[in-house]
């Protein structure tokens, strides 16, 4: 089943390749239709997924026996939401790409291959396999930015590629070192996640290995100060690229930290809590402050990602139930809201061929529906309760306080800054009287554009009010992570108050 989930987009890409290049009108519709298949399958996986700890639907096929490399897949409450998010965003990203007029076939193929890679990363339980997917993703993304991007696309693509590849080169070293240690300790080679977690490491080497993984993921997230590739990549990437970059690719970093750093190096993770927490909080505040004065709408949204992903890293390294649950669900939430904001920026760019805030003004008068969607997503991003962003942010903040009080208080300041940068941008773009000629005759959203945004709006509301749909499936896995860390280290998850009493009292009511 999980193999099929990875191979479906690949198969779809193969089908696309058969379509003649000159039948341009077919490429996008066919691509969208094909990309619905992985979504359907992911939906089925979500449906049958049991809310229980441990990996489900595990598949294991030997790949390269001498090195102990396996095609080893499995899914748990941490990867499940990411897989569903990925398959959900791909059809939307494709459907938002009608402005791509050159090499449309290749474009669809790259997006589908990208999807396969992203799903693979989340499902891989063999570290070698994980790394192959992790790196394989770079290639289609490199081309998506480099071929269909904006004016400085080559610069941005190369920067993106080199920066992230450099980080992961170190991680590969870490993976090999781990595998070598395993084989010397247990006598047989393996890259399996569970096996490598059982390697006995000296505190010194555990720290170094932690750092090699953490750096690779920190660049992906991106954590301050490794973030400067992101605004460039976003500004130059076509809309579909930005949606998938913000929606999924950045989550490879937060996912990796949670899945691999915490489990493979629990001792070092506990030690690194203050460092990672500090970097996360610096990112939250710094990203937000820098976002305030960005003149380019897309760059502004890009910097909000730096700030928002800081919350996820904070929640991860807070090592509490609330923090971890919040981190996992915020991965999804950020993907939805920021993905939608990039879609929205793309829609106005297609009309005006500019993303400069100062070129707009008074758009609410001419495009009220567009303004409505934009404002909705702004409030989702700000973390308005009732919408999805709040659930993650609030769980993270409340959950992190018990382990990182001072940092969490500072992080909460990001809540003020978010309101400033987004509402100020809204004020400048949408309110007042439209005074520029080019803006006076803009057409409001088409039915096609509304149909792209509507499913995201629906999910934003559903997850804001009924987060249990996800949290029920997430929490057994995050609890398992905490149990594992408690088991492996001297760390004890702080227990605020006495939860048990309250739950009992709750049942009596």
Tell me the C-alpha distance between 309 and 223, whole Å: 8
Which is nearer to other proteins, 431 or 446 (by Cβ)?
431
Residue 232 in contact with residue 183, Cβ under 8 Å?
no
Stretch that binds other proteins, among 54-62, 270-278, 310-318, 493-501 (CB under 8 A): 493-501
Stretch that binds other proteins, among 36-44, 83-91, 448-456, 467-475 (CB under 8 A): 467-475
Which is nearer to other proteins, 10 or 375 (by Cβ)?
375
Residue 425 in contact with residue 419, Cβ under 8 Å?
no
> CB of residue 119 vs other proteins: minimum separation in angstroms?
22
Asked if 103 is part of the footprint of other proteins (rule: CB under 8 A), the reply reads no
Asked if 419 is part of the footprint of other proteins (rule: CB under 8 A), the reply reads yes
> CB of residue 497 vs other proteins: minimum separation in angstroms?
3
Asked if 431 is part of the footprint of other proteins (rule: CB under 8 A), the reply reads yes
Show the site string, 143-182: x = touches other proteins by CB under 8 A, - = not: ---------------xx-xxx-xx-xxx-xxx-xx--xx-
> CB of residue 346 vs other proteins: minimum separation in angstroms?
23
> CB of residue 357 vs other proteins: minimum separation in angstroms?
13
> CB of residue 47 vs other proteins: minimum separation in angstroms?
20
Which is nearer to other proteins, 36 or 419 (by Cβ)?
419
Q: Which of 465, 482, 486, 488 binds other proteins (CB under 8 A)?
A: 465
Contacting other proteins within 197-216 (CB under 8 A): 205, 208, 212
Contacting other proteins within 106-135 (CB under 8 A): 135
Q: Which of 54, 194, 225, 274 binds other proteins (CB under 8 A)?
A: 225
Residue with tokens 């997230």: 221
Tell me the C-alpha distance between 228 and 245, whole Å: 14
Which is nearer to other proteins, 87 or 294 (by Cβ)?
294
Q: What is the distance in angstroms between the CA of the first residue and the CA of the last residue of the chain? A: 44
| DSSP reduced 3-state for 12 | helix
> CB of residue 388 vs other proteins: minimum separation in angstroms?
12
Residue 309 in contact with residue 334, Cβ under 8 Å?
yes
> CB of residue 312 vs other proteins: minimum separation in angstroms?
16
> CB of residue 395 vs other proteins: minimum separation in angstroms?
6
Q: Which of 25, 151, 200, 501 binds other proteins (CB under 8 A)?
A: 501
Which is nearer to other proteins, 79 or 364 (by Cβ)?
364
Q: Are strands 69-75 and 56-64 parallel, antiparallel or unpaired?
A: antiparallel
> CB of residue 104 vs other proteins: minimum separation in angstroms?
22
Q: Helix H segments across 49-149?
A: 80-95, 104-123, 127-136, 138-148
Q: Which of 467, 473, 481, 491 binds other proteins (CB under 8 A)?
A: 467
Question: How would DSSP label each residue in 290-333?
Answer: HHHT-SBHHHHHHHHHHHHHHHHHHHHHHTSHHHHHHHHHHHHH
Residue 192 in contact with residue 72, Cβ under 8 Å?
yes
From residue 501, alpha-carbon distances to 99, 321, 382, 497 in Å are 58, 17, 34, 9
Q: Helix H segments across 221-296?
A: 229-236, 239-244, 250-256, 262-264, 266-292
Contacting other proteins within 232-291 (CB under 8 A): 286, 289-290
Q: Which of 29, 350, 468, 483 binds other proteins (CB under 8 A)?
A: 468
Which is nearer to other proteins, 8 or 290 (by Cβ)?
290
Contacting other proteins within 359-418 (CB under 8 A): 362, 364-365, 379, 384-386, 390-391, 394-395, 397-399, 401-402, 405, 408-409, 412-413, 415-416
> CB of residue 397 vs other proteins: minimum separation in angstroms?
6
Q: Which of 156, 4, 134, 137 lies closest to 73 in space, CA to CA?
A: 4
Contacting other proteins within 5-34 (CB under 8 A): none
Q: Six-digit token pair at 312? A: 């996820």
Which is nearer to other proteins, 87 or 439 (by Cβ)?
439
Tell me the C-alpha distance between 225 and 279, whole Å: 8
Q: Six-digit token pair at 333? A: 């939430």
Residue 38 in contact with residue 119, Cβ under 8 Å?
yes
How many residues of this chain interact with other proteins, rule: CB under 8 A? 86
Residue 219 in contact with residue 167, Cβ under 8 Å?
yes
What's phi and psi for 416, nearest 5 deg? -70, -45
Q: Which of 142, 182, 191, 360 binds other proteins (CB under 8 A)?
A: 142
Tell me the C-alpha distance between 143 and 107, whole Å: 9
Q: Which residues pair with 70 in a beta bridge?
A: 62
């Amino acid at each position: 089943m999980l193999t099929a989930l990875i191979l479906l987009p690949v198969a779809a890409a193969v089908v696309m390749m058969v379509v003649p290049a000159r039948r341009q009108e077919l490429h996008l519709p066919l691509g969208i239709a094909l990309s619905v298949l992985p979504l359907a399958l992911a939906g089925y996986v979500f449906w049958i997924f049991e809310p229980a700890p441990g990996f489900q639907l595990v598949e294991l096929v030997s790949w390269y026996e001498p090195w102990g490399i396996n095609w080893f897949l499995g899914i748990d409450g941490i990867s499940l939401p990411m897989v569903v998010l990925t398959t959900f965003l791909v059809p939307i990203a494709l459907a938002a790409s009608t402005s791509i007029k050159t090499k449309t076939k290749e474009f669809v193929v790259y997006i589908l291959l990208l999807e396969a890679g992203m799903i693979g990363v989340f499902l891989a339980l063999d570290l070698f396999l994980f790394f192959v997917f992790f790196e394989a993703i770079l290639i289609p993304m490199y081309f998506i930015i480099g071929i269909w991007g904006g004016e400085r696309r080559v610069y941005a693509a190369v920067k993106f590629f080199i920066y992230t590849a450099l980080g992961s080169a170190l991680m590969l070293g870490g993976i090999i070192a781990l595998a070598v240690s395993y084989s010397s300790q247990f006598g047989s080679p393996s890259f399996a996640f569970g096996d490598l977690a059982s390697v006995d490491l000296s505190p010194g080497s555990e720290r170094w290995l932690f750092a090699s993984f953490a750096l690779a993921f920190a660049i992906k997230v991106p954590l301050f100060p490794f973030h400067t590739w992101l605004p460039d990549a976003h500004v130059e990437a076509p809309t579909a690229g930005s949606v998938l970059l913000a929606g999924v690719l950045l989550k490879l970093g937060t996912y990796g930290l949670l899945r691999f750093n915490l489990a493979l190096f629990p001792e070092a993770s506990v030690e690194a809590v203050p460092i990672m927490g500090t970097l996360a909080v610096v990112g939250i505040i710094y990203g937000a402050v820098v976002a305030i004065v960005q003149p380019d709408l897309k760059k502004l949204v890009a910097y909000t990602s730096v700030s928002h992903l800081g919350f996820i890293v904070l929640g991860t390294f807070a090592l509490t139930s609330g923090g971890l649950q919040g981190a996992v669900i915020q991965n999804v939430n950020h993907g939805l809201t920021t993905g939608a904001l990039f879609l929205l920026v793309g829609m106005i760019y297609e009309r005006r061929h500019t993303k400069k805030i100062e070129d707009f003004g008074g758009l609410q008068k001419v495009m009220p529906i567009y303004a409505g969607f934009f404002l909705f997503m702004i409030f989702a991003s700000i973390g308005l309760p009732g919408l999805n962003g709040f659930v993650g942010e609030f769980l993270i903040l409340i959950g992190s306080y018990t382990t990182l009080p001072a940092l969490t208080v500072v992080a909460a300041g990001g809540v003020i800054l978010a309101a400033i940068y987004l509402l100020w941008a809204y004020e400048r773009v949408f309110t007042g009287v439209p005074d520029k000629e080019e803006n006076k005759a803009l057409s409001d959203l088409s039915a096609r554009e509304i149909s792209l945004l509507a499913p995201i709006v629906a999910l934003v509301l559903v997850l804001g009010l009924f987060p249990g749909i996800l949290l029920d499936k997430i929490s057994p896995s995050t609890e398992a992570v905490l149990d594992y860390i408690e088991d492996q280290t001297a760390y004890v998850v702080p227990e605020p108050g006495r939860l048990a009493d309250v739950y009992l009292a709750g049942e009596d009511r």
